A and B are shown apart, each in its own frame.
Chain A
């Protein structure tokens, strides 16, 4: 089994046609399916939220067989994830892609679970505390993308589970839980 950093990769990562967008429909569907899962899996394990299409993304090339995905293929695979609702384009020109290995709703549930787990039902925390504090260590929340976190918090706010209040700067936005 080959690895990329600490990530375990399937054997077909060394199959050269895996890196060429296949023209035949049936084959292409299967190829896209395999790529979608590999990308989401990799992002989840590596806690990656944003993939830049023009940047070097370790998954998009395999130096061992000297193959890498071209731009068209990268966009095709990411678009397929976007269609599934597991990713969003961050700009119109599709240069950056936000990967939601948990959907926003799933993130909201994870936050609620985290709050209950730590007995924070009626306490106040800053957003930065949630992302980097001692409490969240060891959970998916730790080190998560700020934009994604804010969207999950807003969803909970709409449901009346918490209130967001602004501090002097964006760095110290606070959250008052009322679960």
Chain B
């Protein structure tokens, strides 16, 4: 019997599971062992994070002692969940949950396999197995995987649209099925789509409860439309004019920002809430950060993240805690606090030195030598928000590289020429220094 009898599970770089279309997490349990009872010589998956989703049971290894790969048991293969027996022995041992899955003759987990085996979950951490069993039953009986089988089977590869807000890796898969004839075809299809969704939209807005129950549908819908638009634009690129392309891109952006399908919630993650939220956030911010030039204001992230989460909003405090946990994980983003108290999220690769050297070259341009630079000028050159640009300018000032000029014209920064002036002879100008360069630009042009 092969060692990898379970299916492999993919994770993001920050350690969050990659979910299938429509898959939603419902419970997370720390420190869980996964054991095959009938074949004790198979490797035991020890002390990992157990994630129950509507489609699968995922076991993710502990990042500090990663011995086994992340594994998955599709709920479709589960044939029976045993009721846990209360016994005196059970009071002292770690709680266990047992269930039966179908396997192929050579022992691999598979739906409608000819044989079956029993898997035991051992809960070593402080957790509540009873509520877990309840959710397990609920997910198993919900048979959510059946609805998405057709897309799942059509694309055996990775179909990711969950956490990151969707990627374009699966765009071509759907494009083949869509019989699109010209731009009018797309538009007509869209029209039909809108009409059919109009009703569900109306339903959704009847009250909040209804909206929450429709939320998943809405996100699926948005994703479908996004993919349709993408496929449409690729096959009809030569027939569409720029204006239409523009509006499509806008539409895609708009749909992209609609949602995280499976937001981490206090309910599903429990004690692991902030940790999981932190990982999800790290995955989420990658795309917006890239667009914003590697650095973003905390407030902007808060708005984007909550908009993507839809109804499961988080508080600013939770966001802050999630960000502060990044130090502990190996994620490519970091939280930075400026001296003024402004907090930003930036890529680790987005170094201060780089920004600094760009400011350096900016203030040495002839115009900047003459009239200085404002935060707005710097923002334009650096491709970041003015408030952020100002923080960088102030940081450069505190390093003694810039000087400020406060006047009725506003707040501007100049290259620091004081350091280049001889204190014993104020009239002396050293050649080729900053002072010299400034005189050439500012005085000579007078």
Contacts and interface: CB of A to CB of B under 8 A. Distances in A.
Contacts of A23: 397, 404
A52 interface: no
Nearest to A67: B407
A57 interface: no
Given A10-B427, A24-B400, A34-B426, A19 B419 contact: no
Interface stretch (B19-27, B223-231, B437-445): B437-445
Which of A15, A30, A33 has its CB near the most chain B CB atoms (within 10 A)? A15
Given A11-B439, A34-B426, A27 B407 contact: no
A67 B408 CA distance: 9
A11 B429 CA distance: 9
A66 B412 CA distance: 14
Interface string B411-446: 010101111010100110100000100110011001
Nearest to A37: B426
Which of A1, A2, A27 has its CB near the most chain B CB atoms (within 10 A)? A27
Given A27-B416, A34-B418, A17 B426 contact: no
Contacts of A27: 400, 403, 416, 418-419
B93 interface: no
Give the size range of B's interface with the partner: 20 to 34
A61 to B, nearest CB: 11
Contacts of B417: 12, 15
B426 A38 contact: yes
A140 to B, nearest CB: 22
B165 interface: no
Contact of B412 (A8, A16, A22, A26): A16
A126 to B, nearest CB: 40
7 contacts: A1-B427, A12-B418, A16-B412, A16-B414, A20-B403, A27-B416, A34-B423
Interface of B: 372, 397-398, 400, 403-409, 412, 414, 416-419, 421, 423, 426-427, 429, 435, 438-439, 442-443, 446
Interface of A: 1-2, 8, 10-12, 14-17, 19-20, 22-24, 26-27, 30-31, 33-34, 37-38, 64, 66-67
